[in-house]
Amino acid sequence: MSDGEAVVLIEDKIAELAAAVLHTPVDRLDRTCRLDLLGFDSLMFLELSTALRQHLGCDIPTLELMGAAHLPDIAKRALQRIRQPAFPDRIETVAVPERSEHA
């Protein structure tokens, strides 16, 4: 899949998520308009950031979303995060404490 095709698919998903945050149908969302001009406030940007992490697996901080131009810009940023994770070599481990018989 080309970057252009991937951006379109990601933009479609972000539009769905943004519309859900705004409680409006996705077809009423102007994708060329900044989200703050569509009525997003700081808590809505936080909600969108959380949704992006949950649905797309990419972390775009709230302040970065607030500074983004519009949905295509956010989609490009998301694709960059998906293709180049912040910590590609990080392996998460969980330490399990030994169980004490006296506890």
Domain ranges (residues) in the chain: 3-83
Task: Report the distance separating Cα 98 and Cα 87, nearest Å.
Answer: 29
At residue 88, the pLDDT reads 53
pLDDT at 89 over 60: no
At residue 85, the pLDDT reads 64
Domain 3-83 sits in CATH 3.40.50.300: no
Q: Quick check: 50 and 58 in contact, CB under 8 A?
A: no
Q: Write down the mean pLDDT value for the chain.
A: 86
DSSP 59-100: ---HHHHHH--SHHHHHHHHHHHHHS-S-TT-------PPPP
The mean per-residue pLDDT over the stretch 4-24 comes to 95
Is residue 60 exposed (0-12), middle (13-18) or buried (19+ Cβ within 10 Å)?
buried
| SS3 state at 12 | helix
Statement: the pTM of the whole predicted model exceeds 0.85: no
- In eight-state DSSP terms, residue 102 is T
- In eight-state DSSP terms, residue 57 is -
The mean per-residue pLDDT over the stretch 75-82 comes to 92
pLDDT in tens, 36-76: 999 999 999 999 999 999 999 999 999 999 998 899 999 99
pLDDT at 77 over 90: yes
Sorting pLDDT into bands at 50, 70 and 90, what band is 102? low
At residue 91, the pLDDT reads 47
Query: The tokens 């899949």 sit on which residue?
Result: 1
